[in-house]
Structures are given as structure tokens and as C-alpha cells.
Amino acid sequence: MFHQLAAIVFPLFAMVAAGFFYGRRHLPDMAVANRINLEIFTPALIFSVLSAKDFQIAAYANLALAGTLVVLGSGLIAWPLARLAGWRVKAFVPPMMFTNSGNMGLPLAVLAFGEPTLAAALV
């Protein structure tokens, strides 16, 4: 069990550690890399996976609906909490609704369940 978990998680944490130590030593400017990632690589990944021959949108309808409900539900819970706490709603609610699960979530899903689950993870 531990060996299987380590085999799934280790590659991801090894890459994170390598990036951390590289960044500490060389101080790279990440603005260009982030922009290329957001404007080219992420849309290309989504297009590539969703345009594959074996991707059937109907098979993922329940997953898409569940994801939509989680996003909307998070917003409905975060909205009154922000107002109750006196925080700015526009600053608090969006991060609660739209989490950044791509950087760690997608690689973990592929490492844990294999490449065929990438489409479900993207949805």
C-alpha cells in the first residue's frame, strides 16, 4: 500500500522539489513561462484531450454536473461567510469557487489512475 502511494506521489513531489531548488539558486523570471502556460499549453491540453476520438461528452455529463454543483455550492456557502466575517465578497468568493487543482490534481490523477482518466480530470 505504501509503495503504491509513494510510486504515485513521489514523481510529483520530486518535480516540485527540483523546481524549488532551481528557483532558489537561479531566481528565474516566471512571467513569460506562466503566460505561455496559460495561453498556449493549457488550452492545447484541453483541446487535445476533449477532441480525442474516444471522448464522449454524454459519458461525462454527470461529472460535469457534479463539478458545476460543487462550484456553485462553494459560492453559495462562501458568500454569506464572507459577509458575516466582514470580508470583501469579490475577493473571498472566487477563490473558494474556482480552486487551482490543475497543477497538482491533473498529474496526480494521471499517475494514480492512468492516462485514460485525464479527460475526466479535465472535466
Tell me which of 120 and 10 has the higher pLDDT: 10
Instruction: Count Cβ atoms within 10 A of the Cβ of residue 5 and give its class: 0-12 exposed, 13-18 middle, 19 or more buried.
Output: exposed
At residue 53, the pLDDT reads 67
Residue with cell string 454569506: 80
pLDDT-derived band at 58, boundaries 50, 70, 90: confident
Task: Return the domain boundaries, the chain.
Answer: 2-122
Whole-prediction pTM: 0.64
Closest by CA to 60, choosing from 2, 4, 9, 116, is 116
* Chain segment 74-87, per-residue pLDDT in tens: 999 999 999 999 99
